[in-house]
Amino acid sequence: MSDEAEKKKPCAPEAPAPDTSEEELEEAQIEQEAAAGADVEEVSEPEEAESDEGEPDPITELHQQVGELKEALLRAMAETENTRRRAQREKEEALKYAPGPLAKALLPVADNLRRALESVPEEARKEGSLATMISGVEMTEKELLSAFAKHGIERIEPLGEKLDPNWHEAMFEVPDAEKPAGTVVQVVEAGYRLQDRLLRPARVGVSRKP
């Protein structure tokens, strides 16, 4: 009886396996997410590198723009300086040669004064009334030439000089065995120059070998 009772006695249930704690599950989940994130970063890094290579560097662009602006500024400053110098030179030349038109208009007056003096014979210069008139004409010519000189206007009288085509105009030739060929032996009309600019060439006769 006791054997049957022992056979019929239910077996005790097995003890269940201890459950995994919530903290361990959370840690495992975090590790899985971290591993998955690392894989994603490894895959996305090459794409970012490619995008960086395709886009220009903003710092390099700024340096290039600064260089272009600096070059344009230097070019503009050089052009401004050239314009200023050209304007200054033109102003100086305008002042330097300003008396030219008036001087050309007065050249016939100077010529007529000289002709009047040369037309009076030496003997007649000693007469009282005529001497006074001649003295007045000489003073007028002297004042006119002095006014010319104050403004850089100079008379050209090249008697005895070598013919210079820049300042002289040969009107005729005179046979002369004593002087070298091309020497000015007669001044028909005096020339004038303003500074280094010719107003009128001296019209002359030059010598030639007979």
**Tokens standing for 65?**
């723009």
> What's the CATH number of domain 95-208, 3.10.25.10, 1.10.10.410, 1.10.1200.10, 2.30.22.10?
2.30.22.10
The pTM of the full predicted model, rounded to 2 decimals, is 0.61
For 182, left (φ over 0), alpha (ψ -120 to 50), or beta? left
pLDDT digits (tens, 9 = 90+) for 2-32: 444 444 444 444 444 444 456 666 666 666 6
Query: What pLDDT does residue 201 have?
Result: 97
Query: What pLDDT does residue 161 have?
Result: 95
Q: What are the sequence ranges of the domains in the chain? A: 95-208
Strands (E), 18-163: 153-156
pLDDT digits (tens, 9 = 90+) for 84-110: 999 999 999 888 899 999 999 999 999
Query: What pLDDT does residue 7 have?
Result: 45
63 confidence band (pLDDT: 50, 70, 90): confident
- Of 36-40, 72-76, 92-96, 192-196, which range is least confident? 36-40
**Tokens standing for 87?**
């304007």
Residue 180 and residue 207 in contact, taking contact as beta carbons nearer than 8 Å:
yes
User: Any idea what DSSP says for residue 178?
Assistant: S
Q: Supply the mean pLDDT for the chain.
A: 81
H or E stretch covering 136:
helix 128-150
pLDDT digits (tens, 9 = 90+) for 185-205: 999 999 999 999 999 999 999
* 67: Cα within 13 Å, side-chain hemisphere: 6
**Residue 210 or 87, more confident:** 87
